[in-house]
């Protein structure tokens, strides 16, 4: 299957600049392509400006452009395009930012770009996403950590990979917190969705997908969950093509 994906767990590590840790990976991902202009999807960024969603999206575009310009790349945001689907159809590269996954998925269905992006990636467009942007590359949004601030018409997502990602995966709850651990939440998901695999993608980690090959990159191992099996740890650099 034709696809080229960079699926990043998180944008920012504590004490670091925005998109600090994955910058070299983004550069390495884009540099060989010769593509400089990247269509940006900002719809997960709902809280960057209290006045309106439009201004939040403007602020998000500016924030990402500030980083990408240092890498010799240019961002143009889909929220400013007259026809969202046509913009996707013409895009050579697409970046989907993090934030609230429910709002992102709702807007992607509402604008018609969910199907358009899937088709365009399979035609050869390069795709990168962080946090919510990596979650929507999966079959569904069901392993997001986010609050359902709006109701999408469907939980279905891009299905660019046949497994689920839990971004920002944490191994334990904060001290004194009495709720379920992230592992317990994923086990709940697998009890209902028994044929699905879930990747717990820790912060400062990403998945690099080239057609039917996939590699874990970054600083931390990932945790792999399947129903009825003990979770497995897979180290950075592992060939995890069996997931595809």
Residues classed as catalytic: 131, 146, 168
Separation between Cα atoms, residue 204 and residue 201, nearest integer Å: 9
Q: How many residues does the chain have?
A: 244
Q: How far apart are CA 132 and CA 8, in angstroms?
A: 9
Q: Which helix (H) or strand (E) holds 235?
A: none
d(CA 46, CA 63): 14
CB 224 within 8 A of CB 19: no
Give the tokens for residue 75: 């961002």
Angle at 211 between CA 206 and CA 216, to 5 degrees: 20
CA torsion sign, 31 to 35 to 37 to 40? negative
10 Å CB burial of residue 168 (0-12, 13-18, 19+) is middle
């Amino acid at each position: 299957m034709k696809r080229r994906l960079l699926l990043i767990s998180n944008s920012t590590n504590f004490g670091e600049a925005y998109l600090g840790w994955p910058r070299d990976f983004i550069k390495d991902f884009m540099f060989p392509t010769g593509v400089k202009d990247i269509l940006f999807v900002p719809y997960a960024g709902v809280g960057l400006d209290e006045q309106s969603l439009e201004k939040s999206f403007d602020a998000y575009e500016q924030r990402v452009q500030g980083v990408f310009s240092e890498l010799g790349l240019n961002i143009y945001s889909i929220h400013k395009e007259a026809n969202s689907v046509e913009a996707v159809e013409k895009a050579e590269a697409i970046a989907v930012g993090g934030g609230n996954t429910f709002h992102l998925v709702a807007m992607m269905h509402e604008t018609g770009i969910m199907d358009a992006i899937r088709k365009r990636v399979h035609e050869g467009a390069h795709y990168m996403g962080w946090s919510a942007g990596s979650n929507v590359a999966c079959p569904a949004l069901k392993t997001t950590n986010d609050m359902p601030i709006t109701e999408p018409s469907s939980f279905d997502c891009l299905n660019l990979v046949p497994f689920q990602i839990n971004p920002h995966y944490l191994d334990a709850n904060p001290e004194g917190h009495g709720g379920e651990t992230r592992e317990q939440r994923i086990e709940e998901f697998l009890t209902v969705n028994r044929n699905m695999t879930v990747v717990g993608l820790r912060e400062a980690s990403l998945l690099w997908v080239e057609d039917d090959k996939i590699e874990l990159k970054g600083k931390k191992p990932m945790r792999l969950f399947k129903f009825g099996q003990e979770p497995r740890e897979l180290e950075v650099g592992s060939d995890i093509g069996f997931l595809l």
